[in-house]
C-alpha cells in the first residue's frame, strides 16, 4: 500500500518536495491532499501537481482521515504550532529544517510526538543522500583513520529574499544555511561539541548575515564551518583523518544522484528530497516513531548548538523571550 502524503503549505519548498515525491514509484508514495492558508493557493498547487484534494486551512488537512503523514513546509516561526496541530490530530509528521526557532520549541515538538505516539522526523534532506550513506560507511569502517578535523561552508546570496533577512520571518544565515554545515559535522562526530566559539556579522534587521564557528569535540577533534547569505561560497565539506580525507559537495556532484524533475525546481537538486521521503516510508512500515538516521536526539543537538551560536553572535528572536 502506498504511503499517503498530505502537504502543508503551497510554497516553494513544498513544490519541490512534491516534485521529489512524484519521482518515486506511485504504488509506494501518493500525494492525496494539500493545504494552504488561502484556498485559492491550495487549489492552484493541487492543479499543478494533480492532487485530488485542496484545503483552505491546515485544520482541514489535520482532519483528513486518508493521510498517513504530513510534510510541513511553512516558514520557520510556524513550525512549532503546525507540528503540534498535526501531531495532536495523531498525524505522522516530516517537518522542514530547522525544526524550530530554538531548543525550547524543539523540546515541545518532540514531547508532543512522544505523547501522541506518532512518527516524527526533521527533514534534513542531505543526510539521506547515497553519498551520506557512503560517508557513514567509510567512517564506520575506519577508512580515514583517526578523525581530526571537519571543515564545511555553505553560502548563497539571499539578501534579496524577505524571508531570509527579516527577524519576524525567522531569517538569518545560521538557521537557513548553517544547519547544513552543522548537521554534517554532527553526523561525522556523533556527539555534542565540548566547546563552541562563534563570530558573525549581523544586519540592521537583527539577523546574522555571515557566521564562522569553531567546534571542539572529544579526543581533541575539531570542526570549523562558515555560513553566509551575503556571498556565494564553495558549498562543500571535507573530513580529514590520519589515513585520508573525504570530500562532500552540495553542488554539481550531488546532481548525479537525483532524477530529473517533471516540473522546474525552486532550489538546486531538490528531487534529492526523495531519499528522506523514502526513509519516512520505511520507518512507518516498520512501526518506528523516529529515524535512526535523523533521530530526535539529533534534532535536539542541532537546536542546542544553534542556540549557543546565536547567543554568541547576538541574534535574538521573539521566541527566545517567551
Element containing residue 313 per DSSP (H, E): helix 296-313
* CATH number belonging to domain 3-125: 3.40.50.720
Q: What is the SS3 assignment for 99?
A: coil
From CA 275, how far away is CA 12, in angstroms rounded? Answer: 19
* Residue 61, SS3 per DSSP: helix
Give pLDDT tens digits along the chain (322 positions): 999 999 999 999 999 999 999 999 999 999 999 999 999 999 999 999 999 999 999 999 999 999 999 999 999 999 999 999 999 999 999 999 999 999 999 999 999 999 999 999 999 999 999 989 999 999 999 999 999 999 999 999 999 999 999 999 999 999 999 999 999 999 999 999 999 999 999 999 999 999 999 999 999 999 999 999 999 999 999 999 999 999 988 654 555 578 889 899 998 889 999 999 999 999 999 999 999 999 999 999 999 999 999 999 999 999 999 8
Is residue 309 within 8 A of residue 211, CB to CB? The reply is: yes
Residues 295, 301, 306: CA angle, nearest 5 degrees:
130
Beta bridge partners of 120: 93
- Annotated domain spans of the chain: 3-125, 130-253+293-321
Residue carrying C-alpha cell 558549498: 235
The correct CATH number of 130-253+293-321 out of 3.30.360.10, 2.30.40.10, 3.30.465.10, 3.90.1170.50 is 3.30.360.10
Nearest 5°: the CA angle 91, 24, 29 is 30
Q: Please check whether residue 95 is in contact with residue 72, taking contact to mean a CB–CB distance below 8 angstroms.
A: yes
Give the SS3 label for residue 38.
coil
Going by C-alpha positions, the residue among 185, 158, 184 that lies closest to residue 172 is 158
pLDDT of residue 322: 81
Amino acid at each position: 500500500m502506498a504511503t499517503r502524503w498530505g502537504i502543508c503549505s503551497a510554497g516553494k519548498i513544498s513544490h519541490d518536495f512534491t516534485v521529489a515525491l512524484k519521482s518515486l514509484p506511485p504504488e509506494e508514495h501518493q500525494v492525496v491532499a494539500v493545504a494552504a492558508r488561502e484556498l485559492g493557493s491550495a487549489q492552484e498547487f493541487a492543479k499543478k501537481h494533480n492532487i485530488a484534494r485542496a484545503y483552505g486551512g491546515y485544520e482541514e488537512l489535520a482532519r483528513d482521515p486518508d493521510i498517513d503523514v504530513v510534510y510541513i513546509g511553512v516558514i520557520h516561526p510556524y513550525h512549532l504550532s503546525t507540528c503540534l496541530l498535526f501531531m495532536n490530530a495523531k498525524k505522522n509528521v516530516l517537518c522542514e529544517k530547522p525544526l524550530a526557532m530554538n531548543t525550547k520549541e524543539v523540546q515541545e515538538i518532540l514531547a508532543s510526538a512522544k505523547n501522541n505516539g506518532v512518527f516524527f522526523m526533521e527533514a534534513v534532506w542531505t543526510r539521506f543522500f547515497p553519498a551520506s550513506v557512503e560517508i557513514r560507511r567509510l567512517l564506520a569502517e575506519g577508512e580515514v583513520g583517526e578523525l581530526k578535523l571537519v571543515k564545511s561552508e555553505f553560502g548563497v546570496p539571499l539578501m534579496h529574499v524577505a524571508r531570509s533577512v527579516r527577524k519576524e520571518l525567522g531569517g538569518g544565515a545560521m538557521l537557513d544555511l548553517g544547519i547544513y554545515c552543522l548537521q554534517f559535522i554532527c553526523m561525522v562526530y556523533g556527539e555534542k561539541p565540548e566547546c563552541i566559539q562563534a563570530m558573525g556579522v549581523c544586519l540592521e534587521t537583527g539577523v546574522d548575515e555571515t557566521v564562522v564557528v569553531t567546534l571542539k569535540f572529544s579526543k581533541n577533534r575539531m570542526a570549523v564551518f562558515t555560513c553566509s547569505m551575503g556571498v556565494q561560497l564553495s558549498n562543500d565539506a571535507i573530513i580529514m583523518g590520519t589515513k585520508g580525507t573525504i570530500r562532500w559537495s552540495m553542488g554539481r556532484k550531488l546532481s548525479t544522484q537525483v532524477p530529473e524533475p517533471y516540473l522546474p525546481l525552486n532550489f538546486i537538486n531538490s528531487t534529492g528530497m526523495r531519499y528522506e521521503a523514502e526513509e519516512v516510508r520505511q520507518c512507518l512500515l516498520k512501526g518506528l516513531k523516529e529515524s535512526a538516521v535523523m533521530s530526535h536526539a539529533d534534532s535536539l543537538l542541532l537546536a542546542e548548538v544553534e542556540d549557543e551560536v546565536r547567543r554568541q553572535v547576538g541574534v535574538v528572536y521573539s521566541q527566545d523571550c517567551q
